[in-house]
Structure 1
């Protein structure tokens, strides 16, 4: 183990460590979204229902969010190099087992184990990159890490679409194996562990804190993932788990504030900038994962695109974000206040959502989506690194690592809340718009009758009888109304997202300028 100052690397070693850490962060994040496009194929080959197959996403997300707050503590117990290498091995082996699963519940169990390994990769990678750079270049280090975090969710769908269309769904897991083996070798060869205090004995471990954290986060994640399809609080399990989540949260807060060796140090939240930063990370997760969810659904279900095309449309925006990251890192190094960049980022995101609200129709073309998605990429670039650095700017030493755990957890939770709330509102808004459209649709009007007659004639020309053709004409009309109502619900979602981002702009006035030079030395031990 080495001292803090000895962690800074130069030249070839730093390049290798950076590549290893970004690759691990990418592996974890790509695996969050890559399965979305393969769910239909999994259902077919494993004989599962849609509800069952949704657990492939839920299990991974629950494991992820449980392990992230514990990562700092686990690194201290086992040594960072050992913990990081073990996490990569767990992730890689469980990827192989996922690909070989013979039924849906085997796959769900292995996805949970994969999530436990993956959650650790995300935050530990951030620490390793940050500590390998000297203090003056740490804004750039965050930018390099941010490229992986932002580009990852976007790479998942096109990569998954390509593998499913050209091979089969197990390959979305097998692709992790060679990368995992390389990352393990590089970690054991190049990554160093900082010195820690004494390890805790078994009887000092905060088992009650761990159990209450699992009860709180695990139950909350389940409620968010399954609330919509189970009719929220009309379902007894959802009610039970909601109560368990609240009880778990209260028990967790009480335990961490009173126990001598807490698994998560809550006192770090006394810092005002960190509190504001965690709120903004939550909103960033909400916007990032929420808009990443709406766009593939809209392009596939309304515009009829393939999974690969739906994924590819997001790529130019991701490249824009990746291009922005080093520029933002340089601006932070030169002393441009992060608060100004965050305010600009929220404003840019507002313009993106307003633009999307105005252009989406049942036949929007790819050329209409190109520039709004580039704008979204610029917004994400302006938000990610400044929010991460200003959250930690007034913290020192070990607190920085503990603060980074909160920002990562809140970004993940923001994504979960975003997806749950958006899917619920899409369903509700679609029903409302459908009722409204039907009430204004006068079947006796000349235009409607003419349209039904044209459709009827079209079906009759294909050999259907007069009555069959009339029934089919009414079906087409009903589907057109449903399609219009769905598009209108997406428009509503974009409008509300825009208002949310606009309301976030004044938050930046509450940020204090850090007196100490931003030193992200201990991010996520």
Structure 2
């Protein structure tokens, strides 16, 4: 596999190399865009499919957790089928599942198709990056990686704006239909410009470790997703998920310790910086997509913003990420802890500001906070990868990269589920506490200046007052979720003190 890859660059003309760059950038942008494009339509999906806020979050979380589980299989799939075959199969599967998403009439099939999107989309990004590294060498590689990185950033930035326009002008189904022609274009370019390579390698997949880890991750995700609705361990289903998670983790640990070639190589954890990097990338995954999943239902359901405006506001975060990546490149010669600290401070500050949002917050304020948050997350990514992989031996890079991206995706899916759980639970508690004050025995409600246009003496007036109490309670729930977001970010900063920096 190595010898074949080494000869490929010399066989390619400069024009063909750039066509390959455009091809893998399009494939990557296509997948990255679908990660965020659906977020804008979450409120519309919630109404169309009669789902609750925590249920509609599954549209995002199950897709991400499917991606997390399948991503480590990329190397094994390439060894069995070859890069070209795997990429073609993934693009076709991604197009078919996207088309099926557009046809879903209820929540259950949509969730199944979104899982399919995650499965077929998982190998696209690591495989595209591998093809890029094979195609470009020397000083050209940095340029190619820069263009590739921009595709990763532009996709999530363009997705919300485009998705918001389509959802408002037509309906949510067009968000998924848009992906199909882009997949056809990507498929045509892959078939024309990507050569077969990588097939025939002796890479083996430790199925026992892989399935044990997958079982643990899926069970934890399902337990968090459904726990609040099923009253946690009062439900037999939740107990079953907990037992599955414990069993999967137990088998994984025992197998890792006793097997000659385990799925998780224990030697990876001997590198202190890589181990700390795993913790940091898990937190990065938690921080990266959670706000753009929470904001759409909050802005539409509580503020009445149209889908197109929500899409533009979410796109502002993408603008901030472009700025953050540029600044990270300029700070490349500095201690990576500087970029990580500044990025976490900016991201945590954005969470603290979002926790102060009320019904009077302006669209401009939401947009600027998104830019601030985008700069923070953009600043964090480059030094984070530097911390994790700079001191890791080359022979462990493939295993380390697979685990690194698995934890990033799992952090995303888990924290989104936890955040919506906080929103729902806080709203229920706040509704109960606020409703206690709506009573004929409350002396303050006897004054017209306090009651305003609400009439507690009629059913219609009580219904309107109840709706307002529910609205206020939900806003408190979102505020608590953003407080948790900021707290996680600020609490992680001291971990950077344990990073070992090599001075040259």
Structure 1 length-normalised TM: 0.83
For residue 31 of structure 2, what is the aligned residue in structure 1? 28
Equivalenced residues, count? 498
For residue 353 of structure 1, what is the aligned residue in structure 2? 351
Q: CA deviation at 1:122?
A: 2.7
For residue 126 of structure 1, what is the aligned residue in structure 2? 129
- Matched-pair contact (CA < 8 Å) for 1:61–1:221: no
- Matched-pair contact (CA < 8 Å) for 2:354–2:482: yes
For residue 481 of structure 2, what is the aligned residue in structure 1? 493
Q: Which moved more, 1:240-249 or 1:86-95?
A: 86-95
Whether 2:490 is the aligned partner of 1:502: answer: yes
1:376-433: CA deviations, max 9, x gaps? 1110111122212321111233422221212211111111121111111122222333
- Matched-pair contact (CA < 8 Å) for 1:281–1:411: yes
Q: Cα–Cα, structure 1 residues 439 and 99, in superposed 2: closer, same or farther, change >3 Å?
A: closer
Q: CA deviation at 1:107?
A: 4.3
For residue 444 of structure 1, what is the aligned residue in structure 2? 443
1:276-303: CA deviations, max 9, x gaps? 1111111111112221122212211211
CA–CA separation in structure 2 for the residues paired with 1:49 and 1:492: 22
1:167 to 167, 170, 195: 170
Q: CA deviation at 1:449?
A: 3.9
Whether 2:272 is the aligned partner of 1:253: answer: no
Whether 2:391 is the aligned partner of 1:403: answer: no
For residue 283 of structure 1, what is the aligned residue in structure 2? 283
Q: Cα–Cα, structure 1 residues 266 and 133, in superposed 2: closer, same or farther, change >3 Å?
A: farther
1:189-211: CA deviations, max 9, x gaps? 444566577436xxx75332343
Q: Which moved more, 1:262-271 or 1:129-138?
A: 129-138
Q: Cα–Cα, structure 1 residues 280 and 123, in superposed 2: closer, same or farther, change >3 Å?
A: same
1:104-148: CA deviations, max 9, x gaps? 655444433332111111322333344544466767666554544
3-state DSSP class of the match of 1:445? helix
Q: Which moved more, 1:295-304 or 1:491-500?
A: 491-500
Q: Cα–Cα, structure 1 residues 288 and 448, in superposed 2: closer, same or farther, change >3 Å?
A: farther
CA–CA separation in structure 1 for the residues paired with 2:389 and 2:313: 34
1:338 to 325, 336, 339: 336
Q: Where do 1:76-155 residues align within 5 Å?
A: 76-100=79-103, 105-134=108-137, 144-153=147-156, 155=158
Q: Which moved more, 1:486-495 or 1:502-511?
A: 486-495
- Matched-pair contact (CA < 8 Å) for 1:257–1:267: no
Gap runs ≥5 in structure 2: none
3-state DSSP class of the match of 1:230? coil
Q: Cα–Cα, structure 1 residues 399 and 193, in superposed 2: closer, same or farther, change >3 Å?
A: farther
CA–CA separation in structure 1 for the residues paired with 2:57 and 2:425: 20
- Matched-pair contact (CA < 8 Å) for 1:69–1:405: yes
CA–CA separation in structure 1 for the residues paired with 2:483 and 2:51: 33
Superposition CA RMSD, Å: 3.3
3-state DSSP class of the match of 1:454? coil
CA–CA separation in structure 1 for the residues paired with 2:267 and 2:79: 18
1:25-51: CA deviations, max 9, x gaps? 332233334344546766787x77669
CA–CA separation in structure 1 for the residues paired with 2:146 and 2:491: 26
CA–CA separation in structure 2 for the residues paired with 1:356 and 1:432: 21
Gap runs ≥5 in structure 1: 457-465, 517-525
CA–CA separation in structure 2 for the residues paired with 1:504 and 1:453: 46
Q: Cα–Cα, structure 1 residues 453 and 317, in superposed 2: closer, same or farther, change >3 Å?
A: closer
CA–CA separation in structure 2 for the residues paired with 1:492 and 1:379: 21
Q: CA deviation at 1:439?
A: 4.8
Q: CA deviation at 1:375?
A: 1.0
Q: CA deviation at 1:340?
A: 1.2
1:367 to 364, 367, 377: 364
Q: Cα–Cα, structure 1 residues 513 and 195, in superposed 2: closer, same or farther, change >3 Å?
A: farther
For residue 18 of structure 1, what is the aligned residue in structure 2? 21
CA–CA separation in structure 2 for the residues paired with 1:230 and 1:153: 33
Q: Cα–Cα, structure 1 residues 43 and 498, in superposed 2: closer, same or farther, change >3 Å?
A: closer
3-state DSSP class of the match of 2:190? helix
- Matched-pair contact (CA < 8 Å) for 1:37–1:160: yes
Q: Cα–Cα, structure 1 residues 295 and 138, in superposed 2: closer, same or farther, change >3 Å?
A: farther
